[in-house]
Amino acid sequence: VTESGIKLSIDMLQKGNTTASMSFGQEGDGVATDVDEFNPSFSRAWPDLKAQLCPKMDPSIDEYGEKLFQLAYQEIKPKKNYESRPLVLDRFFSFGDAPTTLVPPGSSENNFTDAVVYLSTWKCANNQIRGFFNGYFAQQNRSLAVSHPQYPNISSEVLDGACIVMAIRDPITRFLSGYNELECRLPPEETLDKLARHQNLPQGTKQRFEQFLLDLLEGVASGAGAPLNKTGVRESDGHWSQLNHVYNMVGQLVMLRARSSKERLPDAIMPTLRDLNRDFPSFVVSSCPNAAPVIQGIDGEAMPIAGQHGSSSDPKGAYGAAKEVWADQGASARALCYLHAFDYSCFDMLPDGVPELCQEIYASEEFRSAILGSNAET
């Protein structure tokens, strides 16, 4: 159990890999954290920083969201401030997909305490998990309530009573993977409006990813697919739906608090996607004891290895290029640390912890002063 009361199945993280399983981006993708490294300055500073950035798993976006964006921007453009506040900032930390899968309650009582809700989180094996739920219950001739992001049909009453589960992964790894999928979903070159400057650069290059990050920070990363405004001009404010792939995971916490009358948090969070197909079914059963009659037998099912997007093979070289930028540990990599400070502070159960570079940044006097103000220790 974490400080916030979120249940975790720690034994899953200690198991040997006794069965064939699938890894979704935390192992072997070149972005893993070296947990053997220890930064004593970070260790001292991090508890106070977490308490400010994400008290009780409630990210302080109004207080620090724009500041984190500015710090990220100034890593790439030193001593330069925004000409205008990018509208993408309002979604980057706050976007939460609708809870997409509900295992309905088995009883006739309308309190939903034996129901299960899965919080859909983009680039966290979302298709894999939804497909598993739907496939298993279809075999039982039972239907699930599925909510499309634009047409949510899981009410606050359900969210108030149900057992809520979520799966997450390392935030920066997820961002790089999300960029890769975004690039693979682009329409043919000839249809691009080229509003976003990274689209003018060769695909699969470090320069294109670095420019994408700058475009994102300046709010011009939408490009193709951006909506037309009332005057018929195509917007470039970063609200292109594909950018949802790179927005912070804490948006799910924001969405859940907003849509439940009791300001709910997830009951259990699976902190890694390693061995997902082996461990997720038993994770759900152990996390939701009240729902045992409803989900009985689910932990006896192996989650099929399916649901990966076509971008997984990195057909355009975007993922490889993005990982090279992170490995360089330069200005763009440092900017990513600022952009994911909420994710690392809210999801403190990640097995690999905070990357060494981000530890260095979060322990710095500049960052501590920005977040803690006069309370920052020197």
Q: Domain extents for the chain?
A: 100-170+255-300
- Could you give the angle at the alpha carbon of 309 between the alpha carbons of 247 and 223, nearest 5°? 50
Chain position carrying tokens 């490009």 = 223
Burial (CB < 10 A; 0-12, 13-18, 19+), residue 356, is: middle
- DSSP 8-state symbol, 148: B
- pLDDT of 48 higher than 80: yes
Q: Could you give the CA distance from residue 28 to residue 22 in angstroms, rounded to a whole number? A: 11
Judged against a pLDDT cut of 80, whether residue 95 lies above it is answered with yes
* pLDDT averaged over every residue in the chain: 79
pLDDT at res. 342: 98
Contact 64, 371 (CB under 8 A): yes
Q: What is the mean pLDDT of residues 90-96?
A: 85
Element (H, E) at 146: strand 145-146
The values of phi and psi at residue 78, to 5°, are -55, 135
The residue written with tokens 């300001």 in the block is 263
Question: What's the rounded Cα separation, in Å, for the pair 374 and 377?
Answer: 8
Q: Are 333 and 326 in contact (CB under 8 A)?
A: yes
51 or 137, which is more confident: 51
CB 91 within 8 A of CB 247: yes
CB 353 within 8 A of CB 34: no
Check whether 224 has a pLDDT greater than 70. no
Q: What is the rounded CA–CA span in Å between residue 156 and residue 153?
A: 10
For residue 249, the 8-state DSSP code is: T
Residue 145 host element (H or E): strand 145-146
Q: How far apart are CA 29 and CA 12, in angstroms?
A: 21
Task: State how far the Cα of 80 lies from the Cα of 74, in Å rounded to an integer.
Answer: 6
Q: pTM for the complete prediction?
A: 0.85
Q: Which of 1-15, 149-163, 238-252 has the lowest mean pLDDT?
A: 1-15
pLDDT digits (tens, 9 = 90+) for 154-175: 778 888 889 999 999 999 999 9
pLDDT, average across residues 37-55 = 92
By mean pLDDT, which of 58-72, 294-308, 321-335 is the weakest? 294-308
pLDDT value at 35 more than 90: no
Backbone angles phi, psi at 278, to 5 degrees: -85, -40
The packing angle between helices 276-287 and 126-139, to 10°, is: 70
Overall size of the chain counted in residues:
378
Report pLDDT for 151: 41
Alpha helices, DSSP H, located in the chain: 10-14, 40-53, 61-76, 89-92, 126-139, 156-161, 171-184, 206-218, 251-259, 276-287, 292-295, 318-328, 331-339, 341-346, 356-362, 365-372
Query: Measuring CA to CA, how many Å separate 228 from each of 236, 239, 244?
Result: 9, 11, 18
Which amino acid, 229? N
Residue given tokens 């948006």 in the structure block: 251
- Contact present, 68 and 342 (Cβ < 8 Å): yes
Nearest CA among 316, 304, 366 for reference residue 341: 366
Model pLDDT for residues 98-135, shown as the tens digit of each residue: 676 777 777 656 678 888 889 988 899 988 888 888 77
If you average pLDDT over residues 14-25, what whole number do you get?
34
pLDDT at residue 10 in the model? 38
d(CA 213, CA 92): 12
If you compute the radius of gyration of the chain from its CA atoms, what whole number of angstroms results?
21
